[in-house]
Structure 1
Amino acid sequence: MTRIALVTPRYPPTHAGGGEISARLLAEQLHARDAVDEVVVYSFDGESTETVGGVPVFRLADVPQYPYTLPNEIAYRKLRAVGPDPDVIHAYNMHLHPAVGRLSATLDVPAVATLNAYPLVDWAEVNVSPSLKRRLYERTLLRLERPRLLEQMANIGLFLPLSSAVERVYRSHGLETADYEVIPNMLDPSFEVPADGTEETDQVELLYVGYLRDTKGVRYLVDAMDRLPEQIELTVVGDGPERDALEARAAKAAAFDRIEFTGSVPYEEVTRAYADADVFVHPGVWPEPFGRTILEAMQAGLPVVATDIGGPAETVPQSELLAEPGDPASLSESIEYAVTNRDRIGRENRQFVEEQYHPDVVVPRFHDVYERVRRD
């Protein structure tokens, strides 16, 4: 039997983004299985002790995001004070990985770490436009503290990138000699899409769900609409710093009356959007580690058009649906293929996501790596 300590900056319900949802799924699925004796979560988003989904959660402190040395120092000291006694420490959601590496060495307890973001990489190197604050941080403090933080992370026995794309980034940015094993996100078995109550029409509904920033490539999806037949409409669900610019761009498009921005909507309305859609589009232009909305769209039985970059390119099984990043013409071609073949591809995707990403498939892989690092 194995005792797991899961260390993460934030944990639901206080925060519920994609990374937090994935951490909760992992903890609850491990808790539910006989191969793991105990799972305890340590997070840094408040000060409380509670049980979430049957899993004990110790919120040890609020920590700042920058500079990374500070939250890692606080996390390390708080964890030392608590005195966890697991068989394996699992670091999740990136920002406290150095603290976990340091703790692993101090306690002589093996650690693994999921890689699902690029906080120690200069963002321009992964095609992300940094804010002024982030750019200044990269040019000053991060440059000084990065070697020490990477050295602390090197104490982690095994890194678990969500995709091969993430592994490639880290192999070329300071963790060249580390051990890796790709383990993707798992689908949420509780995710349910309501029955489609819309009337049958000739209209085809495209759907994007996600944060609106430049890396997401939504501007190219807006541009692609001018190349698509008039019966194709687009709904963009989500908010972010690019929303105003995207709405202005859409207003100038010939297809302006076929593009709708809903802003952020409650989770139950997001599931309604999946039910109403015919094709899901994920037009990113950066090596995104994974993309949970892609799994949700596949669970909903939708074709998924993505770009041939990052984790999404490894998730979408149909090569015809992988467009060139930043290319509206390529994107429109893939969308038209998806529209024409949407019933067949939707059935394929629903079966594919169950076979590849169900917890029954993914969780045993975590069991295997826990046993591997314990033996090593």
Structure 2
Amino acid sequence: MTDDADSGADASATDGSGADADGDRLDVGFVPAEVPGAGLTGAVETSALLVEHLSRRHDLTVYVASQHAADDVDLPAEDRVEYVIHDDLPKLPHPITAKHRALREETDALESHDLVHSYSSVFVPVLADLSTPTISTLNSYVAVCPKGDMRYHGKRTCSGPGPAKCVACVGVTGARRRQGLENEARSAYSSLGKLPLVRDSMARRNGVDAYHALSPHLAEDYAALDFPAERTRVIPHFYDGGFRRDPRTTAGDPVTLLYVGGLREFKGVQVLVRGLAELRSRGVDARLRVAGAGPYGDRIKRLVGELGLADAVAWHGYVDHDDLPDLYAGADAFVYPGLIDEPFGRVLLEALAAGTPVVASDVGSTDYIVGDAGERFESGDERALADAVERLVADYEERAGAIPDQLARFEPETVLAQFDELYRDVATGRLRRESRPSSASSPTPSR
């Protein structure tokens, strides 16, 4: 399904309204988070959407550095995009080390473009060594936190990284989560291996021309760690046109709640389950559908059993991306019970695009995305979650009716125009670091 905004994006390349017709088409080296189209995470899905849309407006060469295989993936826009692929990379000594090494092997090619845009903050140290103009998307906290959550000991917002501090935090957080020895050992290895990345990113943060933050909240968090606020632009995700559905006007009976995402402690699904029990104790006939998997899944299922909710919860497991729109549209409300400040929360946008109002915890950028098209509640509080669901049901027509206006902020053409402006400002030097390394003095790629 293609909505009008997507159709407009197709037309803009030929009808005089797009970057190509205006003579602003740029030669862009684009570095995605992973193999675009692989469907691994929200960042990967967004990378694929950006490749698809930006390639209609600019000449894209996509540089893939990944531990995953690309040969069985349907890469987006292959007819318009040149791909340079380093896949099946080794995971030892650490996946990020291998990715950096692969991308540095392409230094000469990267420096031949008008600009290089990495849709991952993992590559900040690599971009800082390029002489060509550069943009790094801040789509996670991995550049400043080896755990990627900016939560000190898993409880409160961290004030900034430090070697000993981060090592201690990884250990304490793992002990607190208790998600199994194997899972925690794997998580600790991954986190501790990112310490050099955090050190180098902090040291080289002024060596990137511009930063793209997904939300005002994320931009503020990075500015607090002395990333250059004057060279950081806030550009949100745009919604996937394939998710567009008309919103319903009344909630069903029973009320169907939906969760989509990983089953991890910080995702707060345990709070949602307790909130469901609270709703049912109040006489509200509510049901829950859970789409996702993860190391916390067994504990969540045990909790469902302990609370006597087995008949009220449906487990969908992993759901293919193409099947998500109808899953969202079939629910009365999407519930986002997260406990930490995630960079954006693409699932919120997917729910709204499918016409489903949202109940979300008051963390990170949820208010920025949801606005009047849902209700918020204090994170970690199941009674507050139940209150928010009841408010949503009571004001359902008003909340669902607010979805179109809220979605307008995230129209593909609106967001892509902001990328065009950012690209032009970086390519022309209006946004620029104080000094760039010359090609002759660029470091020798690591071998």
Q: The TM-score by the shorter chain falls in which range?
A: 0.7 to 0.9
Q: Give the counterpart of 1:118 among 141, 150, 156.
A: 141
The answer to whether 1:150 aligns with 2:202 is yes
SS of 2:379's partner is coil
Q: Give the counterpart of 1:316 among 340, 365, 370.
A: 370
Distance change in 2, residues 1:136/1:72 (3 Å):
closer
Q: Give the counterpart of 2:82 among 56, 63, 77.
A: 56
Distance change in 2, residues 1:234/1:138 (3 Å):
closer
In 1: Cα distance, 2:88 partner to 2:150 partner:
30
In 1: Cα distance, 2:247 partner to 2:383 partner:
33
Q: Give the counterpart of 2:185 among 132, 136, 147.
A: 132
Counterpart of 1:357? 410
The Cα offsets for residues 236-284 of structure 1, whole Å up to 9 and x where unpaired, read as: 1111111111011011114442122221123343222222211111110
Distance change in 2, residues 1:262/1:14 (3 Å):
closer
> 1:134 offset after TM fit, Å?
4.1
Paired letter, 1:155:
G
Aligned length: 364
Counterpart of 2:116? 89
**What TM-score does the superposition give when structure 2 sets the normalisation length?**
0.74
Counterpart of 1:211? 262
- What are the within-5 Å matches in structure 2 for residues 89-108 of structure 1? 89-103=116-130, 108=131
In 2: Cα distance, 1:189 partner to 1:150 partner:
37
Counterpart of 2:8? none
The answer to whether 1:271 aligns with 2:325 is yes
SS of 2:106's partner is helix
Paired letter, 2:185:
L
In 2: Cα distance, 1:7 partner to 1:365 partner:
19
Counterpart of 2:60? 39
In 1: Cα distance, 2:234 partner to 2:90 partner:
29
Counterpart of 2:300? 246
SS of 1:190's partner is helix
- What are the within-5 Å matches in structure 2 for residues 134-283 of structure 1? 134-135=187-188, 142-143=194-195, 146-173=198-225, 175=227, 179-193=231-245, 202-228=253-279, 229-283=283-337
The answer to whether 1:10 aligns with 2:30 is no
> 1:67 offset after TM fit, Å?
3.8
CA contact 1:63–1:74 (8 Å) conserved in 2: no
In 1: Cα distance, 2:374 partner to 2:352 partner:
16
Distance change in 2, residues 1:315/1:158 (3 Å):
same
In 2: Cα distance, 1:157 partner to 1:83 partner:
15
In 2: Cα distance, 1:72 partner to 1:202 partner:
50
In 1: Cα distance, 2:29 partner to 2:358 partner:
35
In 2: Cα distance, 1:17 partner to 1:265 partner:
12
CA contact 1:306–1:323 (8 Å) conserved in 2: yes
Counterpart of 1:77? 104
CA contact 2:100–2:123 (8 Å) conserved in 1: no
In 2: Cα distance, 1:201 partner to 1:301 partner:
14
Paired letter, 1:167:
A
Distance change in 2, residues 1:328/1:12 (3 Å):
same
Identity, in percent, stands at 26
Distance change in 2, residues 1:233/1:359 (3 Å):
same
Gaps of 5+ in 2: 1-23, 155-172, 175-183, 431-447
SS of 2:212's partner is strand
